[in-house]
Structure 1
Amino acid sequence: MEEQDKQTRTVTDDEEKVEAKAEAETADSIEVIDAKEEEVETDKTNHSTIEQSELDTLQKEKDEIYQRMLRVQAEFNNFKKRTLKERDAERKYKSQDLIQELLPALDNFERALQVEKTEATSSLIDGITMVYNQLKDALFSQGVEEIATVGEEFDPNLHHAVMQVEDEEKASNVIVEELQKGYKLKDRVIRPAMVKVNK
């Protein structure tokens, strides 16, 4: 009986030891699980902070790229408008260089026509007049206009005053004589008129 009690006690002691060991292992496991849960929470927090930081960086980059795109688009629109404007001006004034080179010839024709007409020079002057008129018509078909002078008020944008006179019969700052014709191509002055102006 004693032996049986002894065996029972031994079994009970062994069970208690096993239980204690199991409890200790369970406690250790719980601590490990708690520690892992804390790590996961910390990782989640860190991960969330990292994600937010990356998100902020990406948002900043997106905003910068968007602003750059807007600037490039505005520059392109300005370039397009400027190019169209230059092309229109080029078309509008395409004949300006040629016209400027022909103006001295036109002046010489006008001087030739100031020669006194006689029987000997009559046919020559008629021929010069015909060529002069054709040249003027060709220039005017391209949009060339003569600048009005005598009797007009002096305009420094259109006229170039080379002399001044005092004439009490005429108003002040009025053109009294044209010394050389001036011309405009559409709305651009290509040669101002040389004039004599009343003081």
Structure 2
Amino acid sequence: MQHNTSQGLFKIDCGDLYLQEFSIEDAYHIYRISNQPEIYHFLPDWKSTKEQRLDWVTNYEIPANKVFLEAAANNTDIGDHFLKLGVFIKETDEFIGWCCTGIKEELPAPNREIMYAISNEFQGKGYATKAAVVLIDYLFSHTNVEILNAVALINNVSSHKVIEKCKFSYNGQQTIENEGYNHYILNKSEWKKKR
């Protein structure tokens, strides 16, 4: 299911897609996608300049991924570490989005979430669902995670569909930074039953 590439990058196969830990080469693609109106409307914190994104990928996201992956490999206890994976089309190696996990501080504990974004030209093809399912499976199979959260702005209909296809259960509304979100939860035990 997962392995390291020739560059030593963590990678998970998803059939016609693969997830791979961020590399410096991904910074421009993350910048480009995060500045698409369809993306920054729902994920404003991801919007950046090229220079900011390169700095964040190089100095924060890549090192954070290494810490997460080391913790997962050594004892499955990932603590509050973050993992940010690019979503790629396998046939062309094209970077089309990301699928990530980390702590959502605005939620009550346990507050590990998954989140995702797919470039506008690749939306509506099931790629976000496929990437999220594979990340969920990895987290429940290879780490100590027992509960996952997902949140989506109330008007983000596409994201709600992805979350529901991933077998999350609706857990009410949450206000985060003065915005209304639908909050969903997925328990490891439920995931195993629904697979």
Q: Under TM normalisation by the shorter chain, which class is it?
A: under 0.3
Instruction: Answer 1 or 2: which has greater helix percent.
Output: 1
TM-score of the two chains, using structure 2 as the length reference: 0.22
Higher alpha-carbon Rg: 1
Relative contact order higher in (CA < 8 Å, ≥ 6 apart) = 2
Instruction: Answer 1 or 2: which has greater strand percent.
Output: 2
